[in-house]
Structure 1
Amino acid sequence: MDEMLTIDKVLNNNVLIAKHPSYEEVVLIGKGIGFSKKKGESISFNKADKTFLLKNENEKEQYVNLLPHIEEGFIDFMNDLLHHIESRMGQGLNEHIHVALTDHLAFALKRTQKNMQFANPFLPEIESLYPKEYQIALEVVTMVYDQLGVQFPEGEVGFIALHIHSSVTDKTLREINRHNQLITQLVEIVEETMQVKIDKQSVDYHRLVQHLHRAIDRVYQDENVGDEIRLAKMLKEEYPVCYNLSWKLIKVMQKQLNKPVDESEAIYLTIHLQRLTNKS
C-alpha cells in the first residue's frame, strides 16, 4: 500500500503522526523516519516499519507525553518486541498495547535500575490462567536482558503477561486485575475454611483457578453449566463441607461482580474442592 500521508506531528527521529484519508491519525514508526521532517510534508505509508492507530484521545496524549522521556533506541526495541509478541500469539494485538506496554517497560527499567521492585501477589494465578502469555512474557524479559542488559525481577513477568492478555482480548487491565483479585480472595477463603495451604504448583490448584476464571466469564456472558439437581443433591449429602464452601464462594462472587451466579456452579466447585481435600 503506497499511499501518501501528510505529516501532522514529528515526535522524534523514529516516530511521527500523519493524517490518513480513511483512518484520520496514524502513528508511523521506523528508524530515522522523522529525521529532518516537518509538519505538512508528505510521506509514503511504506516508509514505516510499523504503523498503528491512536483512536483514543487519552492514549494519544499519553503516548505523545511519554516519548520525550525515553531514548529513541528504545522505540526500535519496542518495535521488535511487539513484532515478537504478535508473531508468538499468532494474532493481531489491540493498538493500546503500543502505549501501555511501552509506558510500563520504560518505567520498569528505571525502577529496576534504582532497585525499586513491586511485588506481584497474583503471579501464580497469572501463570495458571494465561500460560501462553506468561511464556511469551518470559521471552520478553529475556530480550530485555539480552539487548538492554537489565534483569527484571520475577514479578514483572506477570505484569507483562497481563498486558499481552489485555492486547488480545477486549478486557482492560483494570478488569483483568479485578478478576485476579477476586480469584485470589476465593482461594484464600478455601484455604481458611479447609485449614490447608494449597500448593500453587499442583494440578488441582491450576484446575480450581481456571474453573473460577471460567465461572466469572460465564457470569458475564449469562451462561449456565446445566441443571443437575440429582448430582447436586448427592454432592450435598456426600461432601457437605465442600458443598457449603462452594456456596460461600458463589456468594462472594455475586457480591463482588454484582451479578447472579448460576446455581449449577456449586456442583463443579464442590468437585474441585473435594479433590483438594483428598490431596490434603
Structure 2
Amino acid sequence: MWILKNNLNNNAILVEDQSKNERIILGKAIGYGKKIGCVIDLEKAQIEKNYVIFDHDSVKAFQELIKRIDDASIEYARQIIQKGEQELNLKFNDMLLLTLSDHISFMLKRVKQNLNFKAPLEWDVKVIYPEIFKFSENAVEFLREQTKLEIPHSEATYIALHLINANFSINDMDTTISSTKIIDQVLAIVSDYYQKDLKEDSYSYKRFINHLRYFILRELNHETSNSKNSILKVIEAKYARDFQCAEKIKAFLHDKYNWQIGEDEMLYLTLHLNQLTLVDNKK
C-alpha cells in the first residue's frame, strides 16, 4: 500500500510505500485529482517510472527538478523514450525520463527566446552512433510538430547524448561526452594509419565501436587489467600491420590520458583492427 505524500504535478507524485521508503512516481496523469493521504491503487495507476529515494536531500532535489518541468515536456520525453526503445531495440535507465524532460523543458524556453547553441560533438555522435543520431533527428521533427517551434537541428545531438547516457547506464553526461571524443580520436588514428575511409555501415565497424565504447568506459572508471597474455606474440607476428596500429593507439592513450594499456586489450584491439580493415568485409 502506497500513501500519497505530495502531489508534485499531474504526472509526478511523492509517496510512501509499505516499508516507509519515499518514492517519486512518474506516470501520465498519475497525480490528477489526488489528495494528500490517499491510497494509490497500484493496479490502476499508470506508473511509468518509480524512483526509491533514500535521503531527504535527494527527495528535495527530485521535487525541485520535477516542479520546474512542465507536464508537456514530460509527455514529449515519455513518447520519445517509448519510440526509442521500440525502434532502436534498446533499454534506457529510469533516470532518462527525468533528465530528458528537464532538457526538453529548458530547450523549449531557449528556443522561445531565440537562444540556440551549436553542438560541437554533432559529427562525432553521427559517426559513432548513427542509429541513435538518426532517431534523434526524428525526435526533433516530432518536437517541431508538437510545439510548432523552429527547434534547431543541433538538438538531435543533445537528445542522442541523453539516449546514449541512459542506454549504457553512465553516471554522468561528462563521461558520455569524454568517451565520444576519445572514440573519435582513436578512429582518426586508424583512418590515418591505414590511409582509408572506414566503412561505417559494416558489421566489423560497429563491433569495433562497441568494443572501444566499453574499453574506454572501463578506463574512465579505473576497471582495467594489466595482465599478461601468452597469445599476444602469436597475434603480433600474424597481424604485424594491425598490431602496429594498436601500438599507435596505445601510445596516444598513454601520452594523452596516461592510460596503461595491457596485453589483453592489445590483443583485442589488433584482432578488431584486422577485421575492420579487410577489403571484402561488407557485413
Q: What TM-score, normalized to structure 1?
A: 0.73
Cα distance between partner residues in 1 of 2:213 and 2:9: 43
Pairwise mapping of residues 29-178 of structure 1 onto structure 2 (< 5 A)? 29-31=27-29, 33-35=31-33, 37-55=34-52, 60-90=59-89, 92-172=91-171, 173-178=173-178
Cα distance between partner residues in 1 of 2:105 and 2:70: 9
Cα distance between partner residues in 1 of 2:67 and 2:30: 16
Amino acid in the other structure paired with 2:111:
T
Partner of 1:260: 261
Pairwise mapping of residues 196-215 of structure 1 onto structure 2 (< 5 A)? 203=199, 211=208, 214-215=211-212
Which residues of structure 1 form unaligned runs of 5+? none
Which residues of structure 2 form unaligned runs of 5+? none
Amino acid in the other structure paired with 1:264:
L
Pairwise mapping of residues 172-251 of structure 1 onto structure 2 (< 5 A)? 172=171, 173-187=173-187, 203=199, 211=208, 214-215=211-212, 217-218=214-215, 220=218, 227=231, 229=233, 232-233=236-237, 236=240, 246-251=246-251
Cα distance between partner residues in 1 of 2:27 and 2:99: 16
Amino acid in the other structure paired with 2:261:
P
Cα distance between partner residues in 2 of 1:86 and 1:117: 28
Aligned 8 A contact 2:5 2:16 in 1: yes
Indicate yes or no: 2:19 matched with 1:18: no
Aligned 8 A contact 2:100 2:162 in 1: yes
The Cα shift of 1:44 comes to 1.5
Aligned 8 A contact 1:54 1:60 in 2: no
Closer, same or farther in 2 for the Cα pair 1:102/1:257, shift >3 Å? farther
Aligned 8 A contact 2:3 2:39 in 1: yes
The Cα shift of 1:160 comes to 1.2
SS across alignment from 2:107: helix
Aligned 8 A contact 1:129 1:210 in 2: no
The Cα shift of 1:96 comes to 0.8
Cα distance between partner residues in 2 of 1:145 and 1:21: 43
SS across alignment from 1:203: coil
Indicate yes or no: 2:5 matched with 1:5: no
Closer, same or farther in 2 for the Cα pair 1:45/1:165, shift >3 Å? same
Between Structure 1 and Structure 2, the one with more helix by share is: 1
The C-alpha deviation readout for 1:86-144, integer Å capped at 9, x for no partner, is 33344543111122111111112222333333332322332333333223322321221
Cα distance between partner residues in 2 of 1:91 and 1:188: 28
Of stretches 248-257 and 53-62 in structure 1, the one that deviates more from structure 2 is 53-62
Aligned 8 A contact 1:144 1:151 in 2: no
Of stretches 6-15 and 72-81 in structure 1, the one that deviates more from structure 2 is 72-81
Cα distance between partner residues in 2 of 1:32 and 1:144: 23
Q: What TM-score, normalized to structure 2?
A: 0.72
Amino acid in the other structure paired with 2:137:
L
SS across alignment from 2:266: coil
Aligned 8 A contact 1:30 1:47 in 2: no
Aligned 8 A contact 1:26 1:51 in 2: no
| Percent of residue pairs identical | 17
Aligned 8 A contact 1:128 1:210 in 2: no
